[in-house]
């Protein structure tokens, strides 16, 4: 039984396709195609806009998919979140033209431009604005000041908004790419097993990207102090180095650590007597 997967085209597709490839499933897509080729016969992948993924999963026409948390919130789709992949992090913000005050906007009906009609309506009602919403289809930031008093849009750094003379006044919610599944698929034992298998492999890849492997040699004299000072996922892996008469000439020590710890750790272990230090990448990490 094939697992029917939805992946949005564009930036999300690039990140998700790389995740599949790193997990061991080769996915490729020609320029005008909507059904990528996949290296295993139990995966059936289709390209769909991120806005539609949640609704289609809720309807049961597909089993699992990838989309932003913002679009799940916007659609209100009843789906099960399997894994937050952490890709494409954005904030959904309210922004107004620089120099305009909230006090001035609160005195009249405003026009709010957005792709997120439901999120916008809930937000504006919670702030007691009198408003009319204009749905946009991209390039929301160009609407003010002529065609809208406020926009509600996604922003990563906020630079695009600032470049268009807009000032962020509120962060409504945050979003990143989610791996989600239909409730019907999760009730099917075979499909649930496949989805959980994918989630395990995806998490292993993501954890691997955050860690590095360090190997080093250390003398018997410096061994205890060095090992006591090492961070590691569990405990360091230690092997004796060959020595004459069966007496170890020292020890080989191996640890998996977070990448952001490497630069600080290397000078320290060198001062503590470590030699022949090697760092290399990890493909997957399963604790």
DSSP letters for 32-97 = T-SS-EESSTTEEEEE--HHHHHHHHHHTS-SEEEEEHHHHHHHT--EEEEEE---S-EEEEEEEE
Whether residues 196 and 216 fall in one domain: no
Whether residues 198 and 66 fall in one domain: yes
Residue 52 — very low, low, confident or very high, per pLDDT cuts 50/70/90?
A: very high
Whether residues 8 and 33 fall in one domain: yes
> Which one of 175, 198, 229 terminates a domain?
175
For a pLDDT cut of 90, what percent of the chain falls above it?
A: 79
**Average model confidence (pLDDT) for the chain?**
93
What digits encode the pLDDT tens for the residues 257-281? 999 999 999 999 999 999 999 999 9
Cβ-based neighbour number of residue 188 at 10 Å: 15
Whether residues 70 and 203 fall in one domain: yes
Higher pLDDT pick, 11 / 210: 210
CA 228 to chain CA mean position, Å = 34
What digits encode the pLDDT tens for the residues 153-174? 999 988 999 999 999 999 999 9
For a pLDDT cut of 70, what percent of the chain falls above it?
A: 100
Upper half-sphere CA count for residue 153 (Cβ side, 13 Å) = 30
| H-helix or E-strand spanning residue 203 | helix 189-209
Determine contact, residues 116/150, Cβ cutoff 8 Å.
Answer: no
**Token representation of residue 201:** 């492999």
Which structural domain, as residue segments, surrounds residue 153?
Answer: 90-175
Instruction: Answer yes or no: is pLDDT of 287 > 80.
Output: no
Residue 103 within any structural domain of the chain: yes
Higher pLDDT pick, 203 / 11: 203
Whether residues 187 and 80 fall in one domain: yes
What pLDDT, on a 0 to 100 scale, did the predictor assign at position 102? 86
Task: Calculate mean pLDDT across residues 203-210.
Answer: 94
Residue 286 within any structural domain of the chain: no
> Which one of 160, 192, 208 terminates a domain?
208
Whether residues 192 and 252 fall in one domain: no
Whether residues 203 and 260 fall in one domain: no
Determine contact, residues 139/29, Cβ cutoff 8 Å.
Answer: no
**Cα separation values, 175 from 3, 19, 85, 139, 277, Å:** 26, 19, 11, 19, 39
CA 143 to chain CA mean position, Å = 30
CATH of the domain at 166: 3.40.190.10
CATH of the domain at 228: 3.30.70.120
Q: How many domains does the chain have?
A: 3
Higher pLDDT pick, 44 / 246: 44
Whether residues 10 and 150 fall in one domain: no
Instruction: Answer yes or no: is pLDDT of 231 > 90.
Output: no
Whether residues 264 and 145 fall in one domain: no
Rg (CA), the chain: 26
Find all residues with CB under 8 Å of 160, minimum gap 6, and list them: 141
> Which one of 184, 208, 232 terminates a domain?
208
DSSP strand pairing (130-135 vs 64-68) = unpaired
Residue 20 within any structural domain of the chain: yes
Whether residues 106 and 170 fall in one domain: yes
Determine contact, residues 66/7, Cβ cutoff 8 Å.
Answer: yes
Sheet bearing 43-47, strands edge to edge: 43-47, 3-7, 64-68, 177-182, 79-84
Whether residues 113 and 41 fall in one domain: no
Whether residues 185 and 80 fall in one domain: yes
Residue 287 within any structural domain of the chain: no
| H-helix or E-strand spanning residue 218 | strand 211-218
Cβ-based neighbour number of residue 117 at 10 Å: 15
């Amino acid at each position: 039984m094939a697992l029917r997967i939805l992946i949005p085209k564009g930036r999300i597709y690039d990140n998700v396709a790389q995740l599949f490839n790193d997990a061991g499933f080769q996915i490729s897509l020609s320029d005008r195609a909507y059904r990528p080729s996949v290296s295993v016969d139990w995966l059936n992948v289709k390209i769909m806009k991120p806005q539609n993924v949640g609704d289609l999963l809720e309807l049961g026409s597909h089993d699992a998919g990838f989309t932003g948390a913002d679009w799940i919130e916007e659609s209100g789709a009843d789906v099960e979140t399997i894994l937050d992949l952490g890709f494409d992090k954005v904030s959904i913000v309210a922004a107004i033209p620089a120099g305009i005050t909230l006090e001035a906007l609160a005195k009249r009906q405003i026009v709010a431009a957005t792709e997120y009609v439901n999120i916008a309506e809930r937000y504006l009602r919670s702030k007691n604005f009198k408003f009319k919403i204009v749905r946009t289809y991209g390039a929301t930031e160009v609407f003010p000041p002529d065609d809208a008093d406020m926009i509600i849009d996604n922003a990563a750094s906020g630079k695009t908004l600032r470049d268009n003379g807009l000032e962020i006044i509120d962060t409504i919610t945050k979003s990143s790419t989610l791996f989600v599944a239909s409730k019907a698929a999760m009730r099917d034992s075979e499909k649930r097993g496949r989805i959980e298998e994918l989630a395990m492999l995806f998490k292993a890849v993501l954890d691997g990207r955050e860690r590095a492997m360090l190997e080093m040699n250390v003398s018997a004299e410096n061994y205890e102090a060095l090992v006591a000072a090492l961070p590691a996922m569990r405990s360091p892996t230690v092997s004796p180095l060959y020595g004459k008469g069966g007496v170890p000439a020292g020890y080989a020590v191996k640890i998996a650590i977070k990448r952001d710890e490497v630069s600080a750790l290397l000078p320290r272990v060198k001062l503590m007597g470590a030699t022949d230090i090697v760092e290399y990448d990890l493909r997957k990490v399963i604790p």
